[in-house]
Each structure stands twice: as structure tokens, then as C-alpha cells.
Chain A
Amino acid sequence: MHISEGVLSGSVLAGGAVISAAGLALGLKSIDYDKLPRVALLSAVFFVASLIHLPVGPSSVHLVLNGLVGVLLGWAAFPALLVGLVLQAILLQFGGLTVLGVNTANVALPAVVCYYLFAPFLRREGKLPVLVASFAAGFFSILFTAGLTSLSLYLSGEDLSNAAVAILVAHLPSMVIEGVITALAVIFLKKVRPELFSRGPAAK
């Protein structure tokens, strides 16, 4: 999910930066005093998650967990993921500082989309809708991120004509794994802190 430096064209870099700046502004606005620790915590979870590699066939995939970050934070996913990506770029040399805008947009936009699509179901009482919605959040966040990553590369002139399907297939195990882990995390959190999923500033 981390696009390296020197791959993308200038206009794609600029576009990503603009989207991320807008998301960042909206996200920062949505953070109140009580929500702060949660944002920092999920930022830390994202920062560490990319280091976890799960072997899949001959290759391996790493966790992103932007779906989990999204359903718990909404627009605040932008600042949380940006901080994680900045630290990954500086400390771990994942991605890079010039691609920060694009990489942030590629993981944070799907997170916000998953928030609007699936977070309402997580407020329900029944087990099944929560299970399905949280799995879907993990699954689709990666699908969207893979799509946006391909789009960034395509707009920069990389030939993806026969790679699009391959990229999708390559991310399939990743989507399922993220779905399962997101579902497990949501079910656990709902048990110990059900108020996390309630609406409005009451959530702590």
C-alpha cells in the first residue's frame, strides 16, 4: 500500500496532497478532547500494523487496518493515518515524504467511506449485523485502497491494462484477512467498550 518515491507524476502527487489536506482539516475539526486518545491509539495501531506480515502462498501481505481505523474514527482517520504514515516514512523508510499526500488519501478515503457505509450497523445490538458489517469494513477498505493505488499508478502513466486483475487477485487474501481481524477487533471492543460505537460526543 505504500507507493515509493519517484513513481508517481507531479499532478497525481499534487492531487493526493490536496485531498489529504482537505481530509486532514475535516478530521482535525471532528476531534474533541475526549476523542483525542482514541485517535492517537489507532494511529499507533496503524503504525505497527504495517509491520505485520502474514505469509500467503509464495508471497506475503501486511496488515493495513484502515477499515478498523475508519469505523472507529470517521474523518479523524485522516490525521491518525497521516501521523502513522509520516512516522513510517521517516523511521522505517516505507513510502516517502513526497508521496505522503497520495498514500494518505489512498488509505484514509476508504477508511472514511467504510465509516459511512458500515459504522451505523456496528451500533446495533444483534451479533450478526455487527459481524457482517465489521468484516465488510475490513474487506472493502482494502479493496478500495487497492483500487485507489492502481488509479494513482494508472494516472501516472503506468501500464495497468493486464495488471489490474492481477492487483485485485493479489489483494484478495489481504482483504479476507483484514475482514477477519477487523471483525475480531470490533467484537472485542464492543464487549469491553460498547460506547465506542455510539453516535455523538458521548463516545470516549
Chain B
Amino acid sequence: MRLVLSAVVFCLLLVPAGLAHAHRVAVYAYVEGGQIKGEGYVSGGGKLQNQKIKVLDVAGKVLAETKTNKEGAFSVPVPKAQPPLTVVLDAGAGHRATYELKAADLGQESESPADEPKPAAAAEPKAATGIDAKQLGALVQKRVEKALAPLRAQLAEMALSSQEVSLRDIIGGLGWIVGLLGLAAYLKARKMAKGS
């Protein structure tokens, strides 16, 4: 019993030390200004530098390739393909993470170039300000993207933190092991009782 006790204490001592980090990679991506942008992380907060990023279509065909920079960030032009696209982070040695860009994520890109020119060319002559609709559209988009930047950073942070290991998971796992031990002991004991 002394062994069991000391091992339990050992495990509990290890838990807080372990919470800080976990060996997993994650990738987060979004579309901005015709580019797929994003970041690669090691969960625990580290950025993944100089790692391969691929953009795949539904069939798994590689549409674009790049690498993360010193800040763990990357950007590639949005490839012409049917959504959803999958952004794959390949950190080597078997570490891999994916992030799916759905049609809605890509939507603003596929719609705006197609819709905008029509009213601009047909109905609207140059306004008194000297800004045509196309320029205005670009300006608005720029402003909106700027306003969205902090929100995006927050989302990236949330996407990352949701993948962190929580104490709840660890205690849950240890509970499972104790439960399995009980089950196995019960089955063995029943077998022994029947055998004798």
C-alpha cells in the first residue's frame, strides 16, 4: 500500500507542472484581402516557426504551399477552388494539424469581386467626391478588416486555448484508469472464485 500511496502522491505532484504545456500543434486560419492568413502554434503558447503549410481542396489535392515565418504566421493567396478548403500544418516528426475553411469563411472573397463591378459600371457615375464605387468598396473592406483584426486575434486565442489540457481531463483520465482496474479486479476475482 505504501507503493500505491507514494505513486499517487507522485502523480499529483506532477499534475500542476504538467498543466503548463502539452505536446500538440495547432493551426488557425482566416481569409483577409484575398489571402489565407493564419498562425501555427505548439499548444502551450509557442509559435511554430518555419513549418510547412499546405492548402488542400476536398479531394486532398495540394493547391498552395508555404511556410510559417518567425512569428509563426503565414499567408497565401486564396486558391481558386470549391470550398471547403483545408489548411494543413505539417510540423514534421508526425506532428500535424488541420483547420477547415468553410464556404462562409471564404465567402466574402468569392462574392465581392463578382457583385461589385456591375452597379459601379452600369448605374453609378462618379460621385461628387471623386471616389468611384470600386475604390469605395476597397476602402470599406480595408476599414472593416482593420476593425475585425482584434476580434480575429481573440478568436485565434480562443481556438488555441480550447485545445489546452485541463485539470478536469487529467483527473477524468485517472478516474478511468481506477475504474478499469476495478472492473479487471472484479472479473479476475470472479474467475478465481469459480475456479476454487
Mark A38-53 against chain B: 1 for CB-CB distance below 8 A, else 0: 0111011101111111
Using known A-B contacts A36-B184, A149-B93, A163-B92, determine if residue A43 contacts B98 with beta carbons closer than 8 Å: no
| Interface residue ranges of A132-154 to B (CB < 8 Å) | 149-150, 152-153
Using known A-B contacts A37-B181, A53-B21, A62-B23, determine if residue A2 contacts B170 with beta carbons closer than 8 Å: no
A interface SS class: helix
CA distance A32 to B192 in the complex (A): 10
Decide if B94 touches A41 in the complex (CB within 8 Å).
Answer: no
Decide if B177 touches A47 in the complex (CB within 8 Å).
Answer: yes
Decide if B180 touches A60 in the complex (CB within 8 Å).
Answer: no
- How distant is B187 from chain A, measured CB to nearest CB, in Å? 10
CA distance A150 to B93 in the complex (A): 7
Chain A residue numbers with a CB within 8 Å of B11 are 44-45, 48
Segment among A85-93, A108-116, A122-130 that sits at the interface with chain B = A85-93
- How distant is B65 from chain A, measured CB to nearest CB, in Å? 15
Decide if B23 touches A94 in the complex (CB within 8 Å).
Answer: yes
- How distant is B118 from chain A, measured CB to nearest CB, in Å? 42
Decide if B174 touches A47 in the complex (CB within 8 Å).
Answer: yes
Decide if A51 touches B14 in the complex (CB within 8 Å).
Answer: yes
With beta carbons under 8 angstroms apart, the residue of B21, B25, B172, B192 that contacts A51 is: B21
B144 part of interface (Cβ distance < 8 Å)? no
Decide if A48 touches B170 in the complex (CB within 8 Å).
Answer: yes
CA distance A31 to B185 in the complex (A): 11
Chain B residue numbers with a CB within 8 Å of A43 are 177
A117 part of interface (Cβ distance < 8 Å)? no
Mark B173-190 against chain A: 1 for CB-CB distance below 8 A, else 0: 110111011001100110
CA distance A41 to B6 in the complex (A): 11
Decide if A51 touches B170 in the complex (CB within 8 Å).
Answer: yes
Decide if B174 touches A7 in the complex (CB within 8 Å).
Answer: no
A30 part of interface (Cβ distance < 8 Å)? no
A167 part of interface (Cβ distance < 8 Å)? yes
B22 part of interface (Cβ distance < 8 Å)? yes
B97 part of interface (Cβ distance < 8 Å)? yes
- How distant is B161 from chain A, measured CB to nearest CB, in Å? 13
Identify the closest chain A residue to B60 (Cβ): A6
With beta carbons under 8 angstroms apart, the residue of A2, A37, A41 that contacts B23 is: A2
Chain A residue numbers with a CB within 8 Å of B17 are 52
Mark B11-44 against chain A: 1 for CB-CB distance below 8 A, else 0: 1001101111111110000000000000000001
Chain A residue numbers with a CB within 8 Å of B4 are 37, 41
Residue in A87, A150, A170 whose Cβ sees the most chain B Cβ within 10 Å: A87
**Chain B positions near chain A (C-beta within 8 angstroms):** 2-4, 6-7, 10-11, 14-15, 17-25, 44, 92-98, 163, 165, 169-170, 172-174, 176-178, 180-181, 184-185, 188-189, 192
